[in-house]
Amino acid sequence: MSTLDSPERGAATLAGPAPRILVIQAPYYREVVDGMLRGAQRVFADVNATAEVVEVAGGYELPAALAMALKSPRRWDGFLLLGCVVKGETDHYTFICDAICNGVMDVSTRSAAAIGFGLLTVDTIAQAEARARDDRMNKGAEAAHAVLGQVALARRWGLAG
């Protein structure tokens, strides 16, 4: 394994019932996001987690959708955000990526919600496709591991259950 490879991760150790995860995805690059979702679903299957998937128009809408979900009377144990932004020839890429990341961080720190953040910010579609393949480099799977780890931590500290 080179230093650029992703580590092998096993299933999270979760106390309590199988987690319920809301996946909020921005499928502007449908094949890429679908590949990331497949990676996440494999991880969720390892712990019998259920995943509800909703779509938003684009990455910019991810933070607001997360905030709305947190205000919903429905309850999930964690949230997985999936999307992809490919750099173009203008500054639009930088503004969008900054807005998404800052928005998600703001919601995350204010709510203390268990969140997995799977937003690809890449220079080319080829880079995005490489991170959405059905292999150990799948960033959807990495984000799924992250949200399950956060769910486990919240349960350990009595913040969820």
Over the stretch 117-135, which tens digit does the pLDDT of each residue have? 999 999 999 999 999 999 9
Specify the range with the lowest mean pLDDT, choosing from 10-14, 22-26, 146-150, 151-155: 10-14
Is the distance from CB of 83 to CB of 59 less than 8 angstroms?
Answer: yes
Neighbours of 159 (CB within 10 A): 13
List pLDDT tens digits, range 48-64.
Answer: 999 999 999 999 999 99
Q: Would strands 115-122 and 78-86 be described as parallel, antiparallel, or unpaired?
A: parallel
Q: Is 93 annotated as a binding residue?
A: no
Q: Residue 82 is inside which H or E element, if any? A: strand 78-86
53 is in an annotated binding site: no
Q: Which two tokens stand for residue 52?
A: 């509800």
78 annotated to a ligand binding site: no
84 - beta bridge partners? 120
Is 131 assigned a ligand-binding role in the annotation? yes
For the domain made up of 20-155, give the CATH fold. Answer: Rossmann fold (3.40.50)
Mean pLDDT over each residue of the chain, to the nearest integer: 93
- Secondary structure class of 113 (helix, strand, coil): coil
Do 106 and 63 contact (CB within 8 A), yes or no?
Answer: yes
User: Any idea which residues carry the catalytic annotation?
Assistant: 92
